[in-house]
Structures are given as structure tokens and as C-alpha cells.
Amino acid sequence: MSASALQPAATTYRDAIREALRDALRADPRVFLMGEDVGRYGGSYAVSKGLLEEFGEERIRDTPLSESAFVGAGIGAAIGGLRPIVEIMTCNFSLLALDQIVNNAATLCHMSGGQCPVPVVIRMATGAGRQLAAQHSHSFEGWYAHIPGIRIVAPATLEDARGMLAAALRCPDPVLIFEHVALYNMEGALSDEWPQADIERAKLRRAGRDVALLTYGASLYKCLAAAASLAPLGIEAEVLDLRSLRPLDDAAIFASVRKTRRAVIVDEGWRSGSLSAEISARIMEQCFYDLDAPVGRVCTAEAPIPYPKHLEDAALPQAETVASAVRAMFGK
């Protein structure tokens, strides 16, 4: 590391996750990484590049192409006292491991009366925007957030990419970490004293007076851009990064809505039966008399994600569609 100790090092989201993995592997001999192509190939998004050389085949394990088998193995290892980190290439392939996650990881602690916790961490890429077409562009974090017994987190910043893994490993519940594919190349500075991350609380990324934009993952940056474009119109939008999708940080969401009296939820999932629907319902239950406008939602068009760039862009929430949803609330 040549960077000066005084200067925050320039890094990427991908590198921040790799450093978090390296820390975890060094700190605890029970930790190991397992998944398709995580070893020799360095990970499908190059997150684990170099770790095989550093930690060896015992702890950086390439698996066969069977999500059900290796996620199940991870769950078994966690029950047996290890601290496995399982990488599923993308959430699109996680459907093959759904039975292991929903029927085993999420239930065993409950069914054993607390005797059998499953402290597994499962990382996977999520989201669209890279022209990977319908089968490789899903956003399933909202689905997983439906399941009691597991925790769902979505790091959107370098600090969270760096810090959430340690918190997830400390947690006795299964934790699923959703890393948005559009973020891996995101560059930024991360000081050596990066703040310890929690996996429970939402974080206000921009304070505002007039409307709360509730979002997570890569949509955070679209919301921040929308908020910047609304300011000259006199509309001060605040942007709340949810960070934890299960459990949701109700207190932070309600505080933001009560302060601004208006909310727009921005979610790359489809609208029907989505996380945005759940958040909207909670606001209605808890903040109805504080609202000065119906809760708004900007979600992905209800169609398989298109391949052509212009259609993919049109299908996804964008800064302009977020800003326009807010402007409509103010009759502008």
C-alpha cells in the first residue's frame, strides 16, 4: 500500500468488499469463502481476485455449478460451527438455492428452539443496467425481504461495502448481502479509519424539508441526482438509504416522512407485491395523518428487463423519472 496514511486511499466498491473479505479471513480461522469461480477465476465480478493465493484452497473454495448444493453446504458448515461466506454469482441463480435459504437457513433456529442458529453469510450480485438481458438482470432482494428468519442488507456506499460484512459475520442469523452490479466499479476514497457499519439502521444521505426519497442500493445515486435537480425549483428532497431491507428501519422511515409529509419510494424491483409496496403500507399505517400527499413510487416497468440499452434505461427508475414524480406532487 503506497497511499499515505493521511490521505484516504482511492478505491472501488469491488476492492472495498475484497478488503472486508481479507479482514474477515485474517481475523477468524472459522471464516471461509465458497462459490462458483471464486478461487482460480477470482470471482465473476473479480471481487475475490488474489484471495486464493493468499489464503489457499481450504479457505477459498471453488464449487461445482450447483447453487442448491453449495448453499446447503454453507448452511451445514455454519450449523457445525464455522463462519462460511457463500458467494452466489448473481441473485438470478439464487433461485436454484431458494429451498436451502427459505426452508433451511431461515427456519432452523426457530424450529430448534434457538439451539441451532445458522450464522451463514450469503453474498450475491443484484440489479440491472448492464445490458445483461432479462434472465441476468433481476432484483430479488425484495422477495427475500419477505422471509422472516433471514436478514437482508444492501450496501450502497464504499463504507458499507467495507463494513457490512464484519457486522453480518457477527450476526447469529443468516445474512444475505445484495451487491448491485452497477456499483462494483464505483470509485471513491475510503480512509483507513472507515466507520464500523451496522446492518440495522437506515442512513440519511441528504437532509431535506419537502419530500423523503426512500431508496437503497444503486438507486441511491439516482435519488441524490434527482434531489440536486429539484433544489433549484425550491423543492428540498431528503434521501434516506434504507441499507437494511429486513428488518426495515421503521423509526428512520417514519421520522423522515413525518418531517417532510411526503414520500416517494424508489425501488429497482417491480412494483406489484414489492418492497416498495410494503414500505408504502407501513407509512399508511403509521403516518397517515402526517401525510400531505399520497405516497409515490418509482419502480421498474412490469416487464422482463429489456436487452437494448434505450429500452433498459426506460424500464428502470432514473434520476429524471424520480424528479418528475416529485415535481408532480408539487404540481410542477
Partner 1 sequence: MSVEFRLPSLGADMEYATLVEWKAAPGDVIKRGDVIAVVETDKGAIDLEIFESGKIEKLLVSPGVRMRVGDALALLEGEPGRLKISPAARARAAALHLVPDAVAGSGPGGAITLDEIERAGRVTAPSAPSAPVAPAAPAAPPLRDLRSVIASAMARSKREIPHYYLSAAVDYAAARAWLDAHNANVDVTLRMLPVVPLLRAVIVAAADVGGFNGHYEDGEFKPGTAVHLGVAIALRGGGLVAPAIVDAQAKSPATLMQALGDLVNRARSGRLRSSELAAGTLTVTSLGDQAVDSVTPIIYPPQVAIIGAGAVGERPWVVDGRIEARPILTLSLAADHRVTDGRAGARFLGRVRDLLQTPEKL
Show the beta-strand stretches assigned E in 127-274. 151-153, 175-180, 187-190, 203-206, 211-215, 237-241, 244-246, 263-270
The residue (of 22 and 259) whose beta carbon lies closer to partner 1 is 259
Q: Which of 19, 54, 58, 67 is catalytic?
A: 67
Residue 138 annotated to the active site? no
Q: In the numeric block, which cell numbers belong to residue 307?
A: 436487452
The residue (of 96 and 330) whose beta carbon lies closer to partner 1 is 330
Q: Which of 36, 136, 180, 268 is catalytic?
A: 136
The residue (of 134 and 291) whose beta carbon lies closer to partner 1 is 291
CB of 332: closest distance to partner 1 in angstroms?
Answer: 7
Q: Are 246 and 267 in contact (CB under 8 A)?
A: no
Residue 67 annotated to the active site? yes
Q: Footprint of partner 1 on this chain (CB under 8 A)?
A: 209-210, 232-235, 261, 288-294, 328-332
CB of 251: closest distance to partner 1 in angstroms?
Answer: 20
**How far, in Å, CA of 219 to CA of 317, rounded?**
8
Q: Taking the mean position of all CA atoms in its chain, how far away is CA 81?
A: 26
The residue (of 148 and 288) whose beta carbon lies closer to partner 1 is 288
- In angstroms, the Cα distances linking 132 to 47, 97, 322 are 19, 21, 23
Encode burial over 59-93: b for 16+ CB neighbours within 10 A, e otherwise.
bbbebeeebeebbbbbbebbbeebbbbbbbbbbbb
